[in-house]
Structure 1
């Protein structure tokens, strides 16, 4: 139903769930993992919202239409936990979540995922585009540390 994943798609989120990684994301970026979902600090950042997190099911489901209830509940339980952790550790004023389906909905990775953004006054999240270059491991590290410390101590 309504799938756009190309033949032979090498899913970066499935690689991550399988214990692997790629040039942009490694196992070290994972801040929380459950049986059916995991959360990691994303390498794609928006100008005023560094350290945003992606939450994905550990099984491959392209979009919301394909997502079974077990995976959906697991993802959204982690979204809530990550949003609380971001709010508690980033000195932000709030959080936003965002999820896309199909090309017209601006989906560009063919594995269901939810963005969890730290929000700040006048951050212009919805009027800016992501930065052209990915965040480096060194740039992601402080956010990984904040979140893993939070989860280790709650």
Structure 2
């Protein structure tokens, strides 16, 4: 059986192009948020190298609530403004954290995590959740990851029916 690592290009730009096309195919004619986020997290987990957690948090009752993910067990509730995920919501911008140990207020769901990237998901100008990815390697994420993952989120924003989530 062929290893998953060998199915995805080593070049990040090429890898993200493949991820984007695969995600679009997975989401085609499927409007439901939870199945789509589940498949997106599985796709990213299989495609991205050197990560130890990938998943989504959705806004519910003015906090982030754990959604579909791949990896070890995770924090269920995160307050807006707390940790990297809550900061991404508060600042309404992607957080690319080189070293989570140097991030004030970092929430360590997995003590092995050393770097993190969090991309807000927006619908009708409002944040409805975030894509969160952790790595056990300091400095794992860069601007190519930021651009590639922001496009992943744009694809999800456009492909899903967020109506029930945009009012939470």
Fold match by TM threshold 0.5: no
Q: Which one has a larger percent strand, Structure 1 or Structure 2?
A: 2
With CA pairs under 8 Å and 6+ residues apart, which has the higher RCO, 1 or 2? 1
**Structure number with higher helix proportion:** 2
